[in-house]
Amino acid sequence: LPRLRALLQRCLLPSGLGVHSPPCGPALAVQVPAFLPPAAHDGGESSAEAPSLWESILWMAVPKKRRTIEVNRCRRRNPNKLIKEKRNIDVCPECGNLKQKHVLCGYCYAKVKAESRLIKMEIRKKEGGPFNAPTVETVVLYDGEKPTEKDEGKRIIERARKRPSWFVQN
């Protein structure tokens, strides 16, 4: 076993964990780990301890042969690894962009999100600070719209543009 261990040390120590250098010495100027496996204390250890990493390496799963490119190709190009074609793509009836059947149209969502952001900025300007949200409902009115009698006690947010077609009033 000490001969095996010496062989292991010669093979593994200079190469280290992933270091790509010839066995004569490290190719790049990086410190090889200063500590050595417990080879110096061989004589001292009379009781066989649990096998350290350097011995259990002998029982690790290791590839026996190089996988040829043909075998690699069979694995990588197997139909279960190829990307499957999606059959759930439709056209959004509102804007005409593509959308997935179970997902909202990306363009319409972005459009609504942009408008909501502007409304929220108006709200923030009106409130002026945190914790100032009123206890009444909010109504958004666009250019040339007057509050009706239904919007009596509600807070009114003005937006200086024409009402978008998708934002239906009431």
104/98 Cα distance (integer angstroms): 10
Least Å distance, CB 63 to other proteins, is: 19
Name, in order, each residue with C-beta under 8 angstroms of 53's C-beta and a sequence gap of 6 or more.
Answer: 37
11 scored as a contact of other proteins (CB under 8 A): no
From the list 29-37, 56-64, 108-116, 144-152, the region that binds other proteins by CB under 8 A is 29-37
- Among 1, 2, 3, 17, indicate the residue that binds other proteins (CB under 8 A): 17
Within 77-163, residue ranges assigned H as helices are 106-127
Asked whether position 152 contacts other proteins by CB under 8 A, the answer is: no
Size of the site for other proteins (CB under 8 A): 21
For other proteins, the closer CB: 3 or 84: 84
Least separation in angstroms between CB 22 and other proteins: 13
Picking from 35, 16, 34, 36, the residue whose alpha carbon sits closest to that of residue 26 is: 16
Question: Which member of 6, 57, 89, 110 binds other proteins (CB under 8 A)?
Answer: 89
**How far is Cα 24 from Cα 38, in angstroms, rounded to an integer?**
22
For other proteins, which residue of 19, 57, 110, 156 counts as binding (CB under 8 A)? Answer: 19
**The CA-based dihedral angle spanning residues 101, 104, 107, 109, taken in that order and rounded to the nearest 10 degrees:** 180
Radius of gyration over every alpha carbon of the chain, rounded to an integer in angstroms: 36
Q: Interface mask (CB under 8 A) for other proteins, residues 46-85, using x and -?
A: ------------------------------xx---xxx-x
